[in-house]
Amino acid sequence: MTTFMVAATTATLGTGWKWLQGWQQHERFVAEGKAAPVKRPKAPK
């Protein structure tokens, strides 16, 4: 059980870390004008 929890935590932290790195890279590209900003769809009223 402990082994499973350690593996799940490691996978989750690794995935989050990679996402954060990718998002920071995207933000840098937007700042440099190399990528379009991500626009969130407007919520319907």
Q: What's the pLDDT at 19?
A: 96
Q: What's the pLDDT at 9?
A: 97
C-alpha dihedral, 12 to 16 to 19 to 21, nearest 10°: -130
Q: What's the pLDDT at 14?
A: 97
Q: What's the pLDDT at 41?
A: 67
Q: What's the pLDDT at 16?
A: 97
Residue holding tokens 């700042």?
31
28's tokens: 């840098």
- pLDDT tens digits, 1-45: 999 999 999 999 999 999 999 999 999 999 999 988 888 767 777
